Amino acid sequence: MAVVSDTSSRIRSMCGRRTPGPQYGRLVTRWDAHELPVLPGRLQRLADELNEEALPALDGASDPVIALVELAYALRPHLHEGRVPSYGVLLPPGPIADVVSASAALHTSVDLIGAHDLDLKFARRFADGVTSFGVRTDDAVDQLACFDRNMSDEHDLVGLQAAIGGLIIQRHPAGEVRVFGPAGVVRWNGTGWHHDVPMNAWIARLSTVAPDLPVGGVRPLLRFAIHKLGGHRIGATLIWRPTPHAVPPHRHESLIHNAPPLRVGKVGEEAALAHALSQTDGAAVFDGTATLTALGIRLAPSSVAEQSISPIGGMRHTSALRYSHDDPHSIVIVVSESGPVTLMHAGRAITEADPADETIG
């Protein structure tokens, strides 16, 4: 959290903690007073909140103070006739051309439109955080990045950030504010913050918990769970079975037959799968290639699992944890309707990529 702490120190040095004074003026000279999205004191309180919550929202920013200003604007955008606008801004660490090459890697294209002559306040009006994003490299939005398709999905923005580096800050049309950076995704849902660590941290944790499974293969399914399902608040239980071992007898009861072999990692097929899961009870089963093999599965725990595994959370989490006890050749991913993801293996719940931060399991 050194970045947030350093940012807090810089803001304190520029605007003070209680009264504006001369240091407030030094902050205003950097941005026109009309361009500040919030008062400096409120900006300081946001920095303090990120620090107290141990949220790495500013990690990876070339200029953390600018990133903090953009986050503050996303949290409290300017209203027009009572309408709360969506918003999106890219804060790349390098040349603007990196955005073009990154979009090509994501099978989309982007037009960069110069916005040098627009003041910051007005330039933000063109960045909807869906298909158009401001590109801020200094004290202004220098370019508008206009993509040829909807890029508001969390899954897409995770990939875009990985390709260009730096930070992406978005206020989604649904109202959620998200920061995408090298430290993962930090979300504000209107009442609280949530942080999802990068995929590599989850995979590293799984490799210690399930050393006999090829856990690297679960990456696309885990990404789908965190950024597609969790990002859309779709509760689900996903069972990944990468080995040829048979499913333990009497542990599955199929409620839906002949599920199509949809593949995670294919944009259209992922969308179809997420849409079905949002309307279907029961678990979904995937093979080692993250291809759907069964849907609408009722999980029936063994008597041993019921006796040895205590309830956790709601019925979805409890039945999934007991199933993982009965099927040690699987990784079970449970997505809560509120977004957070829990991994399960051999009767153990993994709630954090860092075991030191784990609350259950």
Residues 336 and 238 in one domain: yes
Residue 33 is assigned to a structural domain of this protein: no
Residue 19 is assigned to a structural domain of this protein: no
Residues 299 and 207 in one domain: yes
The residue from 143, 173, 196 where one domain ends is 196
Residue 270 and residue 228 in contact, taking contact as beta carbons nearer than 8 Å: yes
Q: 212 by DSSP, 3-state: which?
A: coil
pLDDT score at 163 = 85
| Per-position DSSP letters for 224-283, written without gaps between them | IIIIIIGGGT--EEEEEE-SSPPPPTTSEEEEE-S----BTT-HHHHHHHHHHHTT--SE
Residue 349 is assigned to a structural domain of this protein: yes
Residues 213 and 350 in one domain: yes
Residues 167 and 214 in one domain: no
pLDDT score at 118 = 84
Residue 352 is assigned to a structural domain of this protein: yes
Give the domain extent around 79: 53-196
Residues 207 and 278 in one domain: yes
Residues 246 and 170 in one domain: no
Residues 151 and 227 in one domain: no
The residue from 196, 231, 260 where one domain ends is 196
Alpha-helical segments (H) within the chain: 2-15, 21-28, 40-52, 64-75, 97-105, 120-123, 154-164, 199-209, 219-223, 267-277, 303-308, 315-326
Backbone angles phi, psi at 326, to 5 degrees: -80, -20
pLDDT score at 346 = 93
* CATH of residue 346: 3.40.1700.10
Taking the C-alpha atoms of residue 340 and residue 361, their distance in angstroms, rounded to an integer, is 15
Distances (CA, A) of 185 to 25, 180, 227, 323: 34, 5, 9, 29
Residues 128 and 61 in one domain: yes
**pLDDT tens for residues 225-242?**
988 898 788 999 999 999
Mean pLDDT by 10 residues, the chain (361 residues): 61 44 35 54 86 91 90 91 93 76 74 85 92 88 91 87 92 94 92 88 90 92 90 91 86 82 90 94 94 93 90 88 94 87 91 64 41
